[in-house]
Amino acid sequence: MSYTTQDREEKYCDSVVESTQVKKAMKRSADDHNDDNNEPPLQKPATEEHSSVVAAHYNHLEEKGLRERFNSPIYYLRNFNNWVKSVLIQEYTDKIREKDYGRSLRVLDICCGKGGDLSKWQKARVEHVVFADIAEVSVQQCQTRYDELRARTRGGRLYSAEFIAADCSKATLRDKYRDPSISFDIVSCQFGLHYSFESLPQARRMLTNISECLKPGGYFFGTIPDAYEIVSRSKKSDGSFGNRIYNIKLLFDVEKGYPLFGGKYDFHLEGVVDCPEFLVNFKLFTKLASDYGLELIYKARFADFFKDHSEKYRHLLQKIVCFESYPPPPGKELIADEKEYEHAKQYWESKENKTERDRIGTMSTSEWEVATVYMAFAFRKLKSTWDSNGKPVYSKPREESQTTNKN
């Protein structure tokens, strides 16, 4: 069910991005996004209501114990997502240290949730992390987890941290930092940016929060649902699709086109997500990001991300246990029905010189269908100067790297 037809993707993308609406939006963005006194317009009541829905949803998510997580039907999917995030963090902290090994790294973890990446930042040996999220309860749980991590560290190396509960698509985060003059080496936004695409002002505010304290040469990376994949699957399924662990349903009339902002859909994922989200047209996202000095340097769907990094980070795949053993070891059952492993069965049967103890790593088709809804991306912050009108002019570093796209 993978959407890999580039022509169809470009048709969807271009038909949206080149519309009159986006041209007006981009002109407005270029005219006023750098005005320090220009706050986003007041949101419509529906926008305020949706923010409350998102916050309430994540505030009421129950903490899952290790035993319950292990028995979850999305156990390997969650581990795979964690692998993707770990690789992103490792890749881009390494890139910075290649240029300045002893540099103390400061991080903004925006849309941090309950702090799923707390230990990842510790392993990356960063100096300071600001955690920010819309859900106050989640931020409190994040801080509790940090305190527990600090207690376990017992005087060992652990970054300092601060915690902010705020709607990152509406609030000015800089006003909430302990040190408003702080500059970040890295901004990470995992599985949360798409909520800001409810409206243009919200997307602008999110990008302002991401970019305004990011150092030139610093990196902004993250993960989001792939709008092109969602659109493709919905076209094949009359607007609603899924399997035993997830379901996505478009909540707008596709006959009227795909809205640039506010393209709402319901996303249910077993035990994790059950609230409305918004499509992110990636070409539009890239155009908007460029207004804030952010240059796209990498994008890949999760399937391609795996191909790009699985060899280098094979040990991490095994450590995190991203894949299920097939055939299952004696006394252990598969997480899904046998029919969801037909691909693994065929591969296994084709192997020569295998023994009874040999196993291959795989994932159920249901989990893989969810994994391939997502994509990863990375931007680099450009250097800026100011023109005679007080507008920023961004320039690329001398050592210019080309964008890596995986369509």
Q: Reply yes or no: is the peptide bond before residue 41 cis, omega within 30 of 0.
A: no
The verdict on whether residue 82 carries a ligand-binding annotation is yes
The pLDDT tens digits of the residues spanning 290-344 come to: 999 999 999 999 999 999 999 999 999 999 999 999 999 998 999 999 999 999 9
Please name the amino acid found at residue 349.
E
Burial of 311 (0-12, 13-18, 19+ CB in 10 A): exposed
> In 93-107, which positions are buried (b, 16+ CB within 10 angstroms) versus exposed (e)?
bebbeeeeeeeebbb
Contact 326, 345 (CB under 8 A): yes
The verdict on whether residue 346 carries a ligand-binding annotation is no
Helix axes 200-211, 282-290, angle to 10 degrees: 50
Measured between alpha carbons, how far is 79 from 84 in angstroms, rounded to an integer?
A: 9
**Share above pLDDT 70 across residues of the chain, in percent, rounded to a whole number:** 79
The verdict on whether residue 85 carries a ligand-binding annotation is yes
Measured between alpha carbons, how far is 371 from 369 in angstroms, rounded to an integer?
A: 6
The pLDDT tens digits of the residues spanning 109-156 come to: 999 999 999 999 999 999 999 999 999 999 999 999 999 999 999 877
Contact 325, 333 (CB under 8 A): no
Q: Is the dihedral of CA 197, 230, 60, 56 positive or negative?
A: positive
The verdict on whether residue 195 carries a ligand-binding annotation is yes
What count of residues does the chain have? Answer: 407
Contact 221, 377 (CB under 8 A): yes
Asked whether the predicted pLDDT for residue 78 surpasses 90, the reply is yes
Please state, rounded to an integer, the average pLDDT across all residues of the chain: 85
- Map tokens 């017992």 to a residue: 154
Q: Which residues pair with 299 in a beta bridge?
A: 377, 405
Give the number of other CB atoms < 10 A from CB of residue 120: 20
User: In this predicted structure, what is the pLDDT of residue 387?
Assistant: 72
DSSP string, 262-280: --EEEEEETTTEEEEEE--
The verdict on whether residue 353 carries a ligand-binding annotation is no
> In sequence order, which ranges of 188-290 are alpha helices (DSSP H)?
200-211, 227-236, 282-290
Domains (ranges, CATH) in the chain? 6-35+46-311+367-406 (3.40.50.150), 324-362 (no CATH)
The verdict on whether residue 133 carries a ligand-binding annotation is yes
The pLDDT tens digits of the residues spanning 98-111 come to: 988 788 999 999 99
Confidence of residue 241 (pLDDT cuts 50, 70, 90): very high
Measured between alpha carbons, how far is 12 from 229 in angstroms, rounded to an integer?
A: 11
Q: Which residues pair with 133 in a beta bridge?
A: 165
User: In this predicted structure, what is the pLDDT of residue 57?
Assistant: 42
| Nearest one of 31, 19, 113 to 64, comparing CA atoms | 113
Confidence of residue 275 (pLDDT cuts 50, 70, 90): confident
User: In this predicted structure, what is the pLDDT of residue 70?
Assistant: 57
The verdict on whether residue 308 carries a ligand-binding annotation is no
Burial of 172 (0-12, 13-18, 19+ CB in 10 A): middle
User: In this predicted structure, what is the pLDDT of residue 1?
Assistant: 34
Of 79 and 46, more confident: 79
Measured between alpha carbons, how far is 301 from 388 in angstroms, rounded to an integer?
A: 41
Written as six digits, the tokens of 94 are 């390494």
Q: Which residues pair with 221 in a beta bridge?
A: 188, 378
